[in-house]
Amino acid sequence: MIFKRTSITDVIILEPTIHGDERGYFVETFRQDKLDFFLGYKIKFCQDNESKSSKGVLRGLHYQLAPYAQTKLVRVIAGKVLDVAVDIRKNSPTFGQHVAVELSGENKRQLLVPRGFAHGFVVLEDNTTFAYKVDNYYSPQCDRGIAFDDKDLNINWQIEYSELNLSPKDTKQPKLSQINDLFEFGENYYV
């Protein structure tokens, strides 16, 4: 497995080695020891989640506040998404910037989205199965979001606005500039 830092160094792309032949393929999708070694700290994942969506579904941008902040390790089992992580750590040199990575059942890439980032994805192919690990449980009281179409974020979702399919919750999120309960850059969220 190869680990690659993105333009926001805390957001990591994981590229597994795919072993294939005429019978199919084998891929190791997760190794705790290798991830811990690369990061220099330990993340203890506690839950796996999965969703299936049709083309045009946009989920996000979501995050949870401490003490229920979450790191996510996301991947696509079948289909394709554009996955986005937005830095929402006040005073971060990359505050308000984002990383967008295409994840697919074919490329088997994964994206590590650390605590202190909002996360979302848009589905680029029908019948896409999206899976992810989290290191903290869901808390409705700590659940927050940011408007996916916040012009200050300048995210190109690669699908026309009229073709997007959003939940009612995701159509009513505030802009980043309207949010007061953000993360602090440099704060250790892993203790």
Q: Just list the catalytic residues.
A: 62, 132
3-state DSSP helix/strand/coil % of the chain, to nearest 5: 10, 40, 50
Please tell me the distance from the alpha carbon of residue 71 to that of residue 135, in angstroms, as a whole number.
6
* Range list of H helices, 21-123: 32-39
Please tell me the distance from the alpha carbon of residue 60 to that of residue 169, in angstroms, as a whole number.
9
Please tell me the distance from the alpha carbon of residue 140 to that of residue 126, in angstroms, as a whole number.
29
What are the backbone angles phi and psi of residue 92, rounded to the nearest 5°?
A: -70, 145
Task: For residue 47, give the H/E element and its range.
Answer: strand 47-53
